[in-house]
Amino acid sequence: MLRTDKVFAGSVPENYNRYMVPLIFAPYAADLARRAASFTPRAVLETATGTGIVTRALAPKLTPDASYVATDLNPPMLDYAASQQPPDNRIKWQQANALELPFADATFDLVCCQFGVMFFPDRVAAYREAKRVLKSGGHFIFNVWDRIEENVFAHEVTNALAEVFPNDPPRFLARTPHGYHDTALIRHELETAGFSHVTIETKAEQSRAPSARLVAIAYCQGTPLRNEIEARDAGKLEAATDHAASAIATRHGSGAVAAKIQAHVIVAMG
């Protein structure tokens, strides 16, 4: 993972929430919230909160006396998440590094993380921190994307950008969001961190958008892929987005588009 893979700044948070969330994150947020709520946690910690899609899905399912700490390493993402959340005095927003959580041992009943662990530079350390702050018998629930070939639009955008930049293809999507899909490795790293009773379910969904153009904008301008495009040629952002849109339209049509997305959902007991 490159340093720029973790940079969600400028217009990226707004574009991420406007385009990426409905395109690929919403169905998995609803799934994660449902699973998390089934454990009836009283104290919840969310890491890598992003723009708050899981927070908005999970908070209404918790009891009135529950507490919810939503954290992220990136202040722009966390600020945007807080701005989108209805008033709720149970929720505390706090910048925090998942590898060095500023919380006491055995504080939370549940730790959740939606599509964030792929960005952690030391996942075992992050898992150990999650286990440390969990109460005995607490649950750590998170999801990760499956390999990029199982996520059609991401794969097509990556291939299209390789045509725009053949000498140095932007590989952010394959490298980081879709770079941690080996379930045996995930299980091993969780067990190394001390978790037991690890279950992993592979879950397919449909990614839908009103047009191929919106898919291209989502990936090219609503993720750190934008940083990679502009690093190669700042003047080619729109042209690269157009080329990705054209590639998707060629395969899926000029109207509303849909394609497979797939992820692994992991539940581990502390």
Instruction: Give the mean pLDDT of 197-213.
Output: 97
For residue 149, give the nearest of 182, 118, 114, 178 by alpha carbon: 178
Place of tokens 């592979």: 202
pLDDT tens-digit map of 206-235: 999 999 999 999 999 988 899 999 999 999
Tell me if residue 162 falls in helix, strand or coil: helix
pLDDT tens-digit map of 73-101: 989 889 999 999 999 999 999 999 999 99
Burial (CB < 10 A; 0-12, 13-18, 19+), residue 198, is middle
Place of tokens 């191929």: 212
- Measured in whole angstroms, the distance separating CA 52 from the mean position of its chain's CA atoms is 10
pLDDT tens-digit map of 123-142: 999 999 999 999 999 999 99
Give residue 78's pLDDT: 92
* Domains in the chain, CATH or no CATH each: 3-269 (3.40.50.150)
- Kindly indicate the confidence band of residue 196, based on its pLDDT and cuts at 50, 70 and 90: confident
7 has a pLDDT exceeding 70: no
Q: CA 220 to CA 222: how far, in whole Å?
A: 6
Q: What is the pTM of this model?
A: 0.92
Instruction: Give the mean pLDDT of 233-247.
Output: 97
- Percentage of the residues of the chain whose pLDDT score is greater than 70: 95
Instruction: Give the mean pLDDT of 158-169.
Output: 98
For residue 127, give the nearest of 142, 137, 108, 114 by alpha carbon: 142
